[in-house]
Structure 1
Amino acid sequence: MEINVHDDRKIVEIWLSHSEQADAALREQIRPIYQEYNGKKYTVVVFQSGTEDLYEQTHQLLLYNRNRAAELEAKQQAPVME
């Protein structure tokens, strides 16, 4: 488990590895951390490691976003038919 506190943005990041996600005792350790920072009006975020290939999933997401942006730009530049 890795915990990053960003006081300037009032954000707490808690990172769990794939094996840590299933650890009930570790999950219980997160509860007081959440309560402490939630009481200080911080946003507490728990990131969990996935099972898919990060490179491939990121690559596909970037391709989709690039294609979608191109589609929207083409629509905006297309002449309006009346």
Structure 2
Amino acid sequence: MEVREQSRMVELWLTQEEKNDPVFREGLKPIYQKYREQNYLVAVFLPGEGDLYQQTRDLLIYNRRKLAEEQVRSGLS
């Protein structure tokens, strides 16, 4: 859990085990309540199922290709 005072945000980063544990997830509700009462945004980040390396690589390749296409279209190549 990371509390960002300046932006009034609380980040909760769960592990795969925590994500799949309904008792643990239910136990987070008092934390949500406490920070919402103080006008904080509570964000919960859950782990995904895919290969992070492969998905990041694919995203970077896609973004680079789109940028190259835009440069060619605008004549900045």
Please classify the TM superposition score into its range, dividing by the shorter chain length: 0.7 to 0.9
Could you tell me which runs of 5 or more consecutive residues in structure 2 were left unpaired when the two chains were aligned. none
**2:36 maps to 1:17:** no
Aligned to 2:25: 27
Partner of residue 59 from structure 2, selected from 58, 61, 78: 61
- Report how many residues are paired: 76
Match of 1:36 in 2: 34
Overall identity of the aligned pairs, in % = 41
Across the aligned residues of Structure 1 and Structure 2, the Cα RMSD in angstroms comes to 1.6
Q: Secondary structure at the match of 2:50?
A: coil
Q: Tell me the amino acid that sits aligned with residue 8 of structure 1.
A: Q
Q: TM-score, normalised by structure 1?
A: 0.78
CA distance in 1, matches of 2:39, 2:2: 16
> CA–CA distance in 2 between the matches of 1:25 and 1:32?
13
TM-score scaled to structure 2, two decimals? 0.82
In the alignment, the residues of structure 2 paired with residue 70 and residue 8 of structure 1 have an alpha-carbon distance, to the nearest angstrom, of 38
* 1:67 Cα offset (Å): 1.3
